[in-house]
Structure 1
Amino acid sequence: MAIVSLRHLDPEGLHPLPGVLSHAVVAEKAGLVYLSGQVAWNAAGELVGEGDHGKQAEQIVRNIDTALAAVGTDRSRVVKETIYIAGYRPEVVDPIFAALRTGTTTPPPAQTLIGVVSLYSPLFLVEIDIVAAL
């Protein structure tokens, strides 16, 4: 049985949470990177877009772009995205999708959208985790 080599990364530009999570885990032999759920905080750990699903999604996309660039890939190589929306209402989906699709012309990846009561903190309205090809 082959041993899978994993590389754990906390790219510069993302708020570090040592001992809690790795922002990206690369499975080299599988050719995949798994991103932890990204929320709308900047590199200093400050919430961006309080009360605004669309603004939070824009920050999350910046975080996703940072993490993917650190491993040599980008959103055009996203295989699967899972979107968690606190206090889900249909009208909040369009700004989230707009943020996710900005800057990429590839077809949308496989996706799961889940409405939840709350996320890590009640101030976070959106969390997105990603699986991408290297």
Structure 2
Amino acid sequence: MHGNVQHLNPPGLHKNPAYTQAVVVSGNATTIYVGGQNAVDASGNIVGKGDIRVQTEKALKNLETALAAGGAGLQHVVKWNVYILHGQSAQAGFEAFQKVWGQRPNPPVISGIFVPALAHPDFLVEIDAVAVVPQK
């Protein structure tokens, strides 16, 4: 049996090109869970202090690196959790997300959560993900 990932936007729920309402994974597949990523470079330096767009792009690049280590790419992500520091513009972060995601089909399900603080006071956003790679 081969793995299958099905993106669902059922009638009665809003259809948005930025996210899918539900994702069903069945069969043989590899699942990769990526912990929260921030705008930190390989040396531990914070990138884009004060700029949520830059920080979102870096967090997504870090996610992409972690996914690649597990044999996945952005196209395999089925679930994002985006933690946004209270007071920041969700729209600015979303625009950065769309820039990185591009025109790929089947966007993942997504939850955006405003939080009072993140692990470091200069962090404006943190993103974690779940990816599924169907077995061929």
- How far the C-alpha of 1:98 sits from its partner, in A, is 2.4
Q: Once the two structures are aligned, what percentage of the paired residues are identical? A: 38
Pairwise mapping of residues 1-134 of structure 1 onto structure 2 (< 5 A)?
31-87=30-86, 88-102=88-102, 105-134=104-133
User: Is the Cα–Cα contact under 8 Å of residues 57 and 97 in structure 2 kept in the other structure?
Assistant: no
Aligned to 1:31, what secondary structure does the other structure show?
A: strand
Decide whether aligned partners of structure 1 residues 91 and 80 sit closer, same or farther in structure 2, where only a CA change above 3 A counts.
closer
- How far the C-alpha of 1:99 sits from its partner, in A, is 4.0
Q: In structure 2, what is the Cα distance between the partners aligned to 1:131 and 1:82?
A: 9
Q: How many positions carry a matched residue from both structures?
A: 105
Between Structure 1 and Structure 2, whose CA radius of gyration is higher?
2
The higher relative CO (CA closer than 8 Å, separation ≥ 6) is in 2
CA RMSD of aligned residues (A): 1.8
Gaps of 5+ in 1: 1-28
TM-score under structure 2 length normalisation: 0.70
Q: In structure 1, what is the Cα distance between the partners aligned to 2:63 and 2:91?
A: 23
TM-score under structure 1 length normalisation: 0.71
Q: In structure 2, what is the Cα distance between the partners aligned to 1:107 and 1:48?
A: 29
Q: In structure 2, what is the Cα distance between the partners aligned to 1:98 and 1:128?
A: 14
Gaps of 5+ in 2: 1-27
